Every structure is written in structure tokens, then in C-alpha cells.
Structure 1
Amino acid sequence: MAKIYMDEDASLEPLEDKTIAIIGYGNQGNAQANNMRDSGCNVIIGNVSGDPFWKQAKEDGFDVYEISEAAKRGDIVHMLIPDEVQAKVYSNEIAPAMGEGKTLCFSHGFNIHFKEIVPPRDADVIMIAPKAPGARLREEYQAGSGTLGLLAVAQDPSGNAKQVALAMAKAVGLTRIGVVETSFREEVETDLFGEQSVLVGGVSELMKAGFETLIDAGYQPEVAYFECINELKLIIDLVHKQGIEGMMKAVSNTAEYGGRTRGPEIIDEKARKKMKKILKDVQDGAFAKEWVAENERGAPKLKKMREEAKEELVEQVGKELRKWAEIEE
């Protein structure tokens, strides 16, 4: 069984007299920095000067520095900039400040696990990973609650890395609900696989395939959108609250029978084999190499796919229906 830590298992004491340098003030940086500050931690922000995030951090009352300066000042350097820029920023701005007594922290283990970033051996390397977008993380914290999260230690020369990670998790609000102990490898591989095969890739393609099947059969686009896309939120909300079987009990008997008998025809053995191939590409580093190379070229494939997606009928129909829904509300 997984080890889950709660508030009573963690103390903020390891963060006393420590300066936490949050690198990046975007989605997660904003939320985690504010939660930590509200928990009584000394937080500074490292960001590129002149961009909107710098201005926002200043307006929110933080001391903001260029990334290299924040890395020097921080006892704990918490990397919350996008995966694809972390290695370059670390090499140019942060590595010179790392060394004995420093802690390098992440909320996703991509660059450590795939060795895009190789910290010095005398630095602690930890991870606290909220399993929620930044806005939700902040919202739940302010409501007196929190979100689930993960915790991992990659290097522990000080012998105190795990206690610092637990303190960070507590400061962010993760231990209010529960933080699961894992490893950088497990977090990265399960996260990438889940995104690609289910949460982002699989679900998106399933929705579009259902929509297009109905359109090809002559049904109205608006009705097809409601049935294959819009109603998905209702189902996911049920699963989130009650689990898959709870959802099955909540829908009609007709829906349950149809889902139980026809679902396996969609996710058949062929689909499961493809999932295993996707997982293998994650595990052996093939996807990581592809993603790093894509960014080194300026992400042309990703940009092209984004532009092509804007023109798809499903996007046009969805955009109009959302406008209509706003008027109705």
C-alpha cells in the first residue's frame, strides 16, 4: 500500500529561517507561492524581468528577482517553469548557485528523471506535486482545504530531504487531504502515460471520433456535440465523487447496460496493446527525446497541430454552443 502523509505527519519547522525561491509565477508558481506565504514561509520569486508574471508577483507583494539572483538567495529553489525550458534555465541561471546546503525542488520530475538536469551530488533534490491546476490549488487552500499530491526524494545528502519535502507539502496544503510518497520515476512515467493515453490524448480523440461518427451518419453537429462532448463533464463529475461503479449506479439502466457491453468493443485488446506501446515509449525515454528535440526546433509540429485543430468542425460547433450557453445564463 502507498504511504500517505497527512497534516499531523508533517511540520513546518524544517522551513524556519529558510528562503524559498519560487522560479516562475505562472499557474503553479502563483498558487504555491501564495499558499506557502500564507503558511508563514519566507518566499521570494525568480522570474524574467518585464513580463506579466513579474508585474503580477510585484503587485501581489512578493520580492521579485531575476532568476539567477533568486537562486542565489534561496535555500530552496523550487522550479515551477514549463518542463521544456527548465534545463536551459537551470544550466544558465541556477546551476552556478547550487551546492551543499541547497535544496532543488520540482512539481514534475521530467527533467531529473530523464537527466536533462543533473544537480550536484551535494544538493538535496525533492518533489512536491499537487494533483490539481494552480487555480484550484489556491482556491481549496483559501477555503481551508487542499488537494491531493505526490512527494518524492531523488537525492538526500543532508539526510533531511524528506522532512523538507513534507514541510513544503504542508505549506502548500497538500497534507490537508493527503500526499502520497512516490519516486521521480513513478511520478513521471505514470503522469506522461496518463496524459497521453487517457486524460489529454485518449479522451480528446475519443470525443472527436464519436462526434465525427454521428456527423458522418447525418446527425446535427450541435446534437452530436452535446452527446459526445458536453455531457462528458457530467459523467466525470460522477466518477470523481463516487467512482466508476458509483457512476454506473447513477446513470440509467439502459446507459449502464450499453456502456458495459459496448465499451470493451472500443477499448479492445488492440487498443490496450497500443497503450502498452505508449507506456514503453515513456519508460525507455523515446517520448522524452522526441519532446526535447521538438522544442530544440522551435516546436513546429506542435504549432502546426494547434493551427489545424482550430479549423476542425468540432471546435467551431463547440465555440458557438458555448456562446449560446453564456447568453442563456
Structure 2
Amino acid sequence: MSTVLDPDSADLTLLQDRQVAVLGYDAVAEAHALNLRDSGVDVWVGIDPDSRRAVSAEIEGLTVRSPEEAVAHCDIVLVPAADDHSPGPATFDLEHLQRLLDEHTEPGDLVIVTSGAQVLPGALSVPEGVDLALLRAVGDGQRIREEFLDGRGCPALVAVARDGSGAAWATLTAYAAAMGSLRSGAIVTTVEHQATALDLAEEWVHVPLRKAVEAAFDELVRRGVEDEVAYLAVVHDLKTRVDQINGAGFASQYGPAGHPIGGSEGEPLTRRAAARAAHPLEHVGRRVRAMMSWIR
């Protein structure tokens, strides 16, 4: 079982004399910036001051500076990924981000990314003496903000990849607390594990699922089934089932054992026997879902 950090794991006073630069201002960056600000953290948004997103940040009362100035001024830098295949915010390419970190961070600073893939070999790197960590909230930007405002928080995955200062973990947990994530819990992992999980899920689940859906649709249409009927069967009904699995596990589809297995004579399994037969996914799923207030 993983280590899960709670509010008692953090000391928010560690952020009192620190400044956080949030690069970009997409939905996730905005949620980080606003949650941190509401927790009393000094936040600077690093973005083109003439951009429309900069105006949105200024309306919220946030300090807006050029990315170079924000990174140079602050000692904690958030580099949110636009998606799991991007080095950072949508308006930043890898070369720009690397130059920002190389030229404007100092030993003892902490760089936080939101996807382990951002800092795998050949991707973004931090200069010698600069700490590196991961904080990936379980939820999109809107969810992160709404949960915080409701007095809860989105759980998160956290990891430290480099801790030259000896203070990276303490600073990261304080940051996670200010974000609201420790209210629900932060699961300790590694950058490599999080990146591997994303890659394998993409290869073994997401891509094959898309291909299976497309193939089933094509086959139904080939058999003369109306397009709309085929769509509803392979897409709409799939979403309904996935929502049920996400909210209550596979057992919500096939009974408490997670699959339609009976006893030796085809009799229904007892509750205890069903629990023993359940795939580990069911047990882990119950623990993880308990951290998400919106699906409890």
C-alpha cells in the first residue's frame, strides 16, 4: 500500500517567505495560482503580459510578469503540462522552458511539474542544485478549484526526483497543503512510476479501447445496423458503464466479485467468498474513490 500524506504532514509556514511562479494560465495553472493565493502564498503568474490570459489573471488580483521575470524572482516554479505529451504550458516549447530554468533558477529553488513525462531523460531538466518534484492533482482545473472552494480538495500524486537542498519534501508537502490536496490525501510515488503508468495505460488500455470501439462500430454498420444505433451501442453505453465502474468499481457491473462467477454448482458466491475472489483493482479502487468527495 502506498504512503498517503494528510494535512498533519505539512507545515504551511514554510511558504511564508517563499514566492511561487506559475508558468502559463490555463485551467490547471489558474487553479494552482488561485488556491495558493487563497492560502496566503505569494504567487506570480509568468505569462506574456499582453496576452488575454494575463488579463484574466490580473482581474483575479494576481501579480503578472514575463516568464523570465517571474522565474528569476520566485524560488518555487510550477511548470504545468498542457497534456501528458507536452513539456509544459501550451504557449511554451521545450527550448523556451529549458532556457528559463537554466538562466533564471538558482540552487535551492524548487521546480514542480504536473506530469512525470515532462522530466524523463531527453525532456526537461533542472540545473545542478535545483530541486525537482511532481504534483499531479486528480482532476482538471475546474475540479481542483471547486473542491478547494468547497472546503475539500482534489487528491494528488506527489514525488521528489531531486532533493539537493534537503528541503524538497517539506516544501512540496506545504505546497500540496496550500493547494488543498492534503485535505483528501496525497499519494507518494516516483516520477518514473507515474510516467510509466501513463505510458502503459495509453498502450494497453486507451489506444486498444479506441480501436475496439471503432472496429465494433464499423462491423455493426457493415451488418446493416443504423449508424445512430451503432453509435449508441458502442459509445454511449460504454460511457454509462465506465461511469459506473469509476464510481463503484467493476462489481457495479458484474456483482461483488467483479465478474459473473458462481459457486461450483453455479450458485451465487457468498459475500465473503466474493470479496476473496475480487480482483485487487476492486480493493484499491475503494481506497482511491474514498479520497474523491465527488464520487463518494
TM-score range, shorter chain: 0.7 to 0.9
What CA distance in whole angstroms lies between the structure 2 residues aligned with 1:154 and 1:161? 9
- Aligned partner of 1:243 in structure 2 is 249
What CA distance in whole angstroms lies between the structure 2 residues aligned with 1:78 and 1:213? 47
Q: Which amino acid aligns with 2:48?
A: V
Q: Which amino acid aligns with 1:104?
A: V
- The SS at the match of 1:37 is helix
How far did residue 197 of structure 1 move?
3.1
1:43 aligns with 2:43: yes
How far did residue 203 of structure 1 move?
3.0
What CA distance in whole angstroms lies between the structure 2 residues aligned with 1:18 and 1:32? 15
Once the two structures are superposed, residues 26-66 of structure 1 have per-residue CA deviations (whole angstroms, 9 ceiling, x without a partner) of: 12101111111112211110012333222221222211111
Once the two structures are superposed, residues 129-174 of structure 1 have per-residue CA deviations (whole angstroms, 9 ceiling, x without a partner) of: 1122111111222222222211111111111101111111111122
- The SS at the match of 1:31 is helix
Q: Which amino acid aligns with 2:250?
A: I
2:213 pairs, out of 207, 217, 222, with 207
Are the counterparts in 2 of residues 78 and 105 from structure 1 also a CA contact under 8 Å?
yes
**For 1:51-70, what aligned pairs fall within 5 Å after superposition?**
51-70=51-70
1:233 aligns with 2:239: yes
What CA distance in whole angstroms lies between the structure 1 residues aligned with 2:181 and 2:225? 46
Residues 196 and 145 from structure 1, CA distance in 2 versus in 1: closer, same or farther, beyond 3 angstroms?
farther
What CA distance in whole angstroms lies between the structure 2 residues aligned with 1:180 and 1:172? 14
- The SS at the match of 1:48 is coil
Structure 1 residue runs without a partner (length 5+): 258-329
Residues 50 and 216 from structure 1, CA distance in 2 versus in 1: closer, same or farther, beyond 3 angstroms?
farther
- Aligned partner of 1:141 in structure 2 is 148
1:175 aligns with 2:182: yes
Q: Which amino acid aligns with 2:209?
A: V
TM-score of the pair, normalised by structure 1: 0.72
Once the two structures are superposed, residues 171-211 of structure 1 have per-residue CA deviations (whole angstroms, 9 ceiling, x without a partner) of: 11221112111111111111222234324x23322322222
Are the counterparts in 2 of residues 146 and 173 from structure 1 also a CA contact under 8 Å?
yes
TM-score of the pair, normalised by structure 2: 0.79
What CA distance in whole angstroms lies between the structure 1 residues aligned with 2:260 and 2:226? 25
Residues 191 and 81 from structure 1, CA distance in 2 versus in 1: closer, same or farther, beyond 3 angstroms?
closer
Cα RMSD, aligned residues only: 2.0
What CA distance in whole angstroms lies between the structure 2 residues aligned with 1:176 and 1:196? 33
What CA distance in whole angstroms lies between the structure 1 residues aligned with 2:65 and 2:49? 8
- The SS at the match of 2:250 is helix
What CA distance in whole angstroms lies between the structure 1 residues aligned with 2:238 and 2:245? 11
Question: Going by fraction, where is helix more abundant, 1 or 2?
Answer: 1
How far did residue 111 of structure 1 move?
2.9
1:162 pairs, out of 163, 169, 186, with 169
What CA distance in whole angstroms lies between the structure 1 residues aligned with 2:93 and 2:3? 29
- Aligned partner of 1:88 in structure 2 is 95
What CA distance in whole angstroms lies between the structure 2 residues aligned with 1:231 and 1:248? 15
Q: Which amino acid aligns with 1:68?
A: E
What CA distance in whole angstroms lies between the structure 2 residues aligned with 1:166 and 1:243? 30
Residues 68 and 20 from structure 1, CA distance in 2 versus in 1: closer, same or farther, beyond 3 angstroms?
same
Q: Which amino acid aligns with 1:73?
A: H
Are the counterparts in 2 of residues 141 and 173 from structure 1 also a CA contact under 8 Å?
yes
- The SS at the match of 1:231 is helix
Residues 78 and 232 from structure 1, CA distance in 2 versus in 1: closer, same or farther, beyond 3 angstroms?
same
Count of aligned residue pairs for this structure pair: 252
Structure 2 residue runs without a partner (length 5+): 262-296
Once the two structures are superposed, residues 7-38 of structure 1 have per-residue CA deviations (whole angstroms, 9 ceiling, x without a partner) of: 22222122111100001111210111111111
How far did residue 89 of structure 1 move?
2.0
- The SS at the match of 1:2 is coil
Are the counterparts in 1 of residues 98 and 125 from structure 2 also a CA contact under 8 Å?
no
Are the counterparts in 2 of residues 153 and 162 from structure 1 also a CA contact under 8 Å?
yes
- The SS at the match of 1:95 is helix
Are the counterparts in 2 of residues 99 and 122 from structure 1 also a CA contact under 8 Å?
yes
What CA distance in whole angstroms lies between the structure 1 residues aligned with 2:155 and 2:213? 27
Q: Which amino acid aligns with 1:243?
A: G
Are the counterparts in 1 of residues 134 and 158 from structure 2 also a CA contact under 8 Å?
yes
**For 1:257-268, what aligned pairs fall within 5 Å after superposition?**
none
What CA distance in whole angstroms lies between the structure 1 residues aligned with 2:13 and 2:212? 48
What CA distance in whole angstroms lies between the structure 2 residues aligned with 1:94 and 1:15? 21
